[in-house]
Amino acid sequence: MQKRLCSQFFFFLILSLVVPVLSFSQKIFVADYASNADVKVFEVKYESQADLVVYKCAYSSEARGNNGLWHFEKYASNADRKIYFVDYESQADLKIYYAKYQSSAGWKNEKKKGLMGG
Protein backbone atom coordinates (compact mmCIF):
# COMPACT_ATOMS: atom_id res chain seq x y z
CA MET A 1 0.00 0.00 0.00
CA GLN A 2 2.78 2.43 0.94
CA LYS A 3 4.66 1.65 -2.29
CA ARG A 4 1.52 2.41 -4.32
CA LEU A 5 1.05 5.77 -2.57
CA CYS A 6 4.69 6.63 -3.17
CA SER A 7 4.44 5.84 -6.90
CA GLN A 8 1.20 7.86 -7.18
CA PHE A 9 2.90 10.79 -5.46
CA PHE A 10 5.81 10.73 -7.93
CA PHE A 11 3.40 10.43 -10.87
CA PHE A 12 1.51 13.56 -9.78
CA LEU A 13 4.74 15.39 -9.03
CA ILE A 14 6.07 14.72 -12.54
CA LEU A 15 2.69 15.59 -14.04
CA SER A 16 2.57 18.90 -12.17
CA LEU A 17 6.00 19.83 -13.55
CA VAL A 18 5.31 18.81 -17.17
CA VAL A 19 1.77 20.11 -17.71
CA PRO A 20 2.56 23.82 -17.15
CA VAL A 21 5.36 23.70 -19.72
CA LEU A 22 3.19 22.01 -22.32
CA SER A 23 0.15 24.18 -21.74
CA PHE A 24 2.05 27.44 -22.20
CA SER A 25 3.74 26.79 -25.50
CA GLN A 26 4.02 29.82 -27.71
CA LYS A 27 2.55 29.07 -31.09
CA ILE A 28 1.42 32.46 -32.36
CA PHE A 29 -1.07 33.54 -35.00
CA VAL A 30 -1.17 37.14 -36.23
CA ALA A 31 -4.80 38.26 -36.46
CA ASP A 32 -6.07 40.66 -39.11
CA TYR A 33 -8.19 42.59 -36.60
CA ALA A 34 -7.63 43.63 -32.99
CA SER A 35 -11.02 42.21 -32.04
CA ASN A 36 -9.84 38.72 -33.07
CA ALA A 37 -6.67 38.86 -30.95
CA ASP A 38 -5.93 37.76 -27.41
CA VAL A 39 -3.13 40.30 -27.05
CA LYS A 40 -2.31 43.59 -28.78
CA VAL A 41 1.43 43.83 -29.48
CA PHE A 42 3.78 46.65 -30.42
CA GLU A 43 7.31 46.07 -31.72
CA VAL A 44 9.79 48.45 -30.09
CA LYS A 45 13.11 49.60 -31.57
CA TYR A 46 15.27 48.86 -28.54
CA GLU A 47 15.48 45.86 -26.23
CA SER A 48 15.40 48.12 -23.16
CA GLN A 49 11.88 49.27 -24.11
CA ALA A 50 10.43 45.75 -24.34
CA ASP A 51 8.28 43.76 -21.93
CA LEU A 52 9.32 40.59 -23.76
CA VAL A 53 12.29 39.75 -25.96
CA VAL A 54 11.10 37.33 -28.64
CA TYR A 55 13.06 34.84 -30.71
CA LYS A 56 11.32 33.52 -33.84
CA CYS A 57 11.64 29.73 -33.92
CA ALA A 58 11.72 27.90 -37.23
CA TYR A 59 9.83 24.88 -35.83
CA SER A 60 6.84 24.70 -33.50
CA SER A 61 8.61 22.07 -31.40
CA GLU A 62 11.18 24.70 -30.38
CA ALA A 63 8.51 27.09 -29.07
CA ARG A 64 7.96 25.64 -25.60
CA GLY A 65 7.21 27.48 -22.41
CA ASN A 66 6.31 31.09 -21.83
CA ASN A 67 9.81 32.45 -22.33
CA GLY A 68 9.75 34.38 -25.60
CA LEU A 69 10.33 31.49 -28.01
CA TRP A 70 7.61 32.02 -30.61
CA HIS A 71 6.66 30.05 -33.67
CA PHE A 72 4.28 31.79 -36.04
CA GLU A 73 1.43 29.64 -37.32
CA LYS A 74 -0.42 30.05 -40.62
CA TYR A 75 -3.78 29.10 -39.11
CA ALA A 76 -5.46 30.42 -35.97
CA SER A 77 -6.65 26.94 -35.03
CA ASN A 78 -3.02 25.79 -34.61
CA ALA A 79 -2.05 28.71 -32.37
CA ASP A 80 -1.96 28.99 -28.59
CA ARG A 81 -2.23 32.78 -28.73
CA LYS A 82 -3.58 35.20 -31.31
CA ILE A 83 -1.87 38.58 -31.46
CA TYR A 84 -2.49 41.79 -33.33
CA PHE A 85 0.23 44.31 -34.13
CA VAL A 86 -0.90 47.84 -33.26
CA ASP A 87 0.44 51.03 -34.81
CA TYR A 88 1.13 52.90 -31.58
CA GLU A 89 2.85 51.87 -28.36
CA SER A 90 -0.01 53.33 -26.29
CA GLN A 91 -2.45 50.84 -27.87
CA ALA A 92 -0.41 47.79 -26.89
CA ASP A 93 -0.91 45.29 -24.10
CA LEU A 94 2.60 43.97 -24.69
CA LYS A 95 5.78 45.52 -26.13
CA ILE A 96 8.18 43.11 -27.83
CA TYR A 97 11.66 43.24 -29.29
CA TYR A 98 12.92 40.60 -31.74
CA ALA A 99 16.21 38.98 -30.70
CA LYS A 100 18.82 37.65 -33.10
CA TYR A 101 19.73 34.80 -30.77
CA GLN A 102 17.55 32.29 -28.94
CA SER A 103 19.51 32.77 -25.72
CA SER A 104 18.44 36.44 -25.61
CA ALA A 105 14.71 35.63 -25.42
CA GLY A 106 12.87 36.20 -22.17
CA TRP A 107 10.72 38.44 -20.04
CA LYS A 108 11.90 41.93 -19.10
CA ASN A 109 8.62 42.76 -17.36
CA GLU A 110 7.43 39.71 -15.38
CA LYS A 111 4.12 41.48 -14.57
CA LYS A 112 3.05 41.05 -18.21
CA LYS A 113 3.81 37.31 -18.29
CA GLY A 114 0.15 36.41 -17.73
CA LEU A 115 -0.79 37.94 -21.06
CA MET A 116 0.89 35.08 -22.90
CA GLY A 117 -0.39 32.31 -20.69
CA GLY A 118 1.32 32.20 -17.36
pLDDT on residue 2: 60
Q: Is residue 3 part of a domain?
A: no
pLDDT on residue 117: 86
Domain containing 57 equals 25-110
Q: Is residue 68 part of a domain?
A: yes
Q: How many domains does the chain have?
A: 1
Q: Is residue 4 part of a domain?
A: no
For residues 45-53, give the mean pLDDT. 98
DSSP 24: T
pLDDT on residue 20: 42
Torsion angle of alpha carbons 82, 86, 89, 91, nearest 10°?
A: -80
**Confidence band, pLDDT 50/70/90 cuts, at residue 64:** confident
* Close Cβ partners of 4 (under 8 Å, ≥ 6 residues apart): none
Q: Is residue 73 part of a domain?
A: yes
The model carries a pTM of: 0.78
Tell me: pLDDT of 114 over 70.
yes
pLDDT on residue 70: 97
Maximal CA-CA distance, the chain = 62
